[in-house]
Amino acid sequence: MKSMIVIFLALFLSFQNSNAQQISEWRPENRTGVSTETGLLKSWPAGGPALLWTNLDLTKGNSSVSFGNNTIYITGIKDSADILYALDMQGKMLWQVGMGRAWNESFPESRATPTVEENKVYTCSGYGDIACIDGITGKIIWSYKASEANKGTYGNWGIAESLLIDGDKLYFSPGGPETMTIALNKTTGNLIWKSASLNDKPGYVSPILIGFAGKKMIVNVSLGNVFAVNASNGEILWKVALPKPADMKWDLIMCVTPLYHNGMVYITGGYDSGGMMIKIAEDGKSATVAWTDSVLDVHHGGVVLVDGYIYGSNWLNNSTGNWCCIDWNTGKKMWEEKWNCKGSIIAAEGMLYIYDEKKGNVGLLNVNPEKFDLVSRFQVTQGDSGPFWAHPVIHNGILYLRHSNALMAYDIQAK
């Protein structure tokens, strides 16, 4: 009898795990930029890892890729519309569909990465139009002009938010005079709740979902505040005002997804605004600044936390920046190194992958808080002119890199 109970329990747990929410989204895993992939190369040949394929049929964009249904999803821009593209796993185009109004002012290229759950793809356009799309056929299931309907406002570069899914809810950040964050029913697009307003413009940030003090919180960054919203009812739990350099004559330009660990949230924003660590109060209803730093002043290439240290590239000006490492607990600078230009970063299996935004140099580094420990490098040459702004993605032993209209797949699986 006891053995039967054990077997039943094992089967039950297996069933529960098989039905766990499987989501492919911005900066996996869980928006940390630290992949759980294993069995990867620890160095590359002189010319870089083997290029499996290149797709040059996309339109210009800066979004990353996401996956589901044996399909690659990525966005671009065509005329006045943001486009969702579906490719097979060899990079061949399957279908494309317009999914919302594209931003038509400064840097209009698409930037929001699709969020995929099972056979549905959730997208956001540069004007804050949300769509739920059938990931097999490309048919739009529902759409909602979320920013417009909620009196949302825009910074100079529109909306760049990759949508966050949580159970039956989808979250979005219109900002403006009416609300900061809304929750929609992911199946129907109907409104579930909307938060109060902070009278602030949305940032260009994709928020994170954390659990703390018995609450599930959406942690987000607007152009004036870091704030947390109770995911169950939309209550704003806490906010911390962002410091603005005295000589800055424009809005802050906040683009970097926050990092979270053990009740602490790190945010950074470039343009000499620096970074800061925020400590959430034990009851989850307030937060204070634990420390600030002026070293790791990230523009929009993201940051990763590995073994107690934060890695990324800083903003010296719009044309250049250095690669840096700081201590998570104190903000102390561990090192700062000039290597080509600032850019984006991800991590996997004890290695850092960096992507220079100016000339497309790709570097592989050992995770090392003592020095910039470069192992291998190569250069991406495909794609139209323009910066290399899309963040790298690792999926099933393949490194995906985008440059403008080009998507490339490199084999980084150790043999």
**DSSP of 153-204:** --BTTB--PPPEEETTEEEE---BSS-S-EEEETTT--EEEEPPP-SB-B-S
pLDDT at 19: 35
Mean pLDDT, rounded, for 95-121: 95
The pTM for the full model equals 0.94
pLDDT digits (tens, 9 = 90+) for 263-301: 999 999 999 999 999 999 999 999 999 999 999 999 999
Q: Phi/psi class of residue 295: alpha, beta or left (left: φ > 0; alpha: ψ in -120 to 50)?
A: alpha
pLDDT at 21: 61
Does residue 6 surpass a pLDDT of 90? no
Which domains are delineated in the chain? Answer: 35-56+295-415 (2.40.128.630), 62-202 (2.40.128.630)
Does residue 1 surpass a pLDDT of 90? no
Confidence tier at 247 by pLDDT (50, 70, 90) = confident
Half-sphere exposure of 359 (CA within 13 A, CB side): 9
Does residue 4 surpass a pLDDT of 80? no
pLDDT digits (tens, 9 = 90+) for 74-104: 999 999 999 999 999 999 999 999 999 999 9
Environment class of 18 (CB within 10 Å of its CB; exposed 0-12, middle 13-18, buried 19+)? exposed
Peptide bond into 25 cis (omega under 30): no
pLDDT at 7: 35
Look up residue 328 and give its two tokens.
Answer: 């998570």
Q: In the predicted model, what is the mean pLDDT of the chain?
A: 93
pLDDT digits (tens, 9 = 90+) for 350-364: 999 999 999 999 999
Among 199, 285, 297, which Cα is nearest to 243's?
297
CB 238 within 8 A of CB 286: yes
Mean pLDDT, rounded, for 150-161: 96
Does residue 371 surpass a pLDDT of 50? yes
Binning the chain into helix, strand and coil, the percentages to the nearest 5 are 5, 45, 50
Does residue 250 surpass a pLDDT of 90? no
